[in-house]
A = this chain, B = another copy of it.
């Protein structure tokens, strides 16, 4: 192991990423609470759902939005906390379910939004890492992320657990079966990615990077962008591959780096037009997810090979976290303590 690899493996962020296989096992052996909540939600037959979250949890809530819309056919709105916190406007919540995600469960504007939503009739499920948090206490039902204390400022295991619990909740409602061997595959994904990321020696020097995903992997693309901003201090935009063609691709140059998040099980046709356009402009292309579309000269950073798109996206989340951790350390930064960030952000 190189010195760099040694240093990258000494961060709290690194250790917390490695806890995910254990978190999966623990979640799968405690399914009864999720199943009970799923039964209640099925009975209530909500016509619309709102998802609520900021930062990392906001990205996880986007994953939940796709899952609910695709698997349950129910319309999902992304909550705008500012409608209540800035404009004092309570939205009518007729037959509405609100699902809020937050590691700490403390963000002031989320608590305020949830309180207003409940007052106007919403049923509220909170997913947090602290059953005593204000958000958890407000909820009709609380789903514990069960990751234990998260010490690194940049969220990792709590994000992966949010994706996992989103998936388990929607499975319990739709009757889908959890694929076998998830924890083992998660451990394999982490081990495999480590070596690949160490070998990809030029990613951390790139300053012009774009991250692209689509559908279930869009949340991971946004999260990788956020993790690189937080820990490597590089301003990296993220987009859906479809949106990217509607404008932002204009800024792509020869020599720009592009990271595609394409989970195993995704229909390649839906991202192929963007991949082809990107390949015509730059050759610096990285892949997280399936290794299948990685052309010679491009770099595969790792990902799950479970042929189930949304579960693969859940497991791929550790790869993007390892990439961010490694890039930060390679730049001489401490990913555990990004400048100017706090673990709990209180915004109005």
A: which residues have CB within 8 A of B?
Answer: 47-48, 50, 54-56, 58, 65-66, 69-71, 73-78, 80-83, 85-87, 89-96, 107, 109, 208, 210, 214-215, 226, 229-237, 240, 242-243, 245-253, 267, 269-270, 273, 277, 281, 338-341, 345, 347-348
Contact = CB atoms under 8 A, between A and B. Distances in A.
| Highest count of chain B CB atoms <10 Å: which of A81, A245, A246, A267 | A246
Contacts of A107: 246
Contacts of A341: 247, 249-250
Contacts of A243: 54-55, 58
Count identical subunits in the complex.
Answer: 2
A338 B250 contact: yes
Nearest to A47: B94
A215 to B, nearest CB: 5
B75 A93 contact: yes
Given A73-B90, A94-B47, A235-B235, A82 B214 contact: yes
A75 B77 contact: yes
B247 A229 contact: yes
Nearest to A347: B242
Contact of A252 (B65, B76, B82, B340): B340
A81 to B, nearest CB: 7
Q: Which 8 A-B pairs have the closest CB atoms?
A: A55-B246, A77-B77, A250-B338, A229-B251, A242-B347, A70-B89, A70-B87, A230-B250
Contacts of A236: 237
Contacts of A345: 245-247
Given A340-B250, A347-B273, A87 B245 contact: no
B215 A87 contact: yes
A332 to B, nearest CB: 15
Given A91-B69, A340-B249, A81 B242 contact: yes
B78 A78 contact: yes
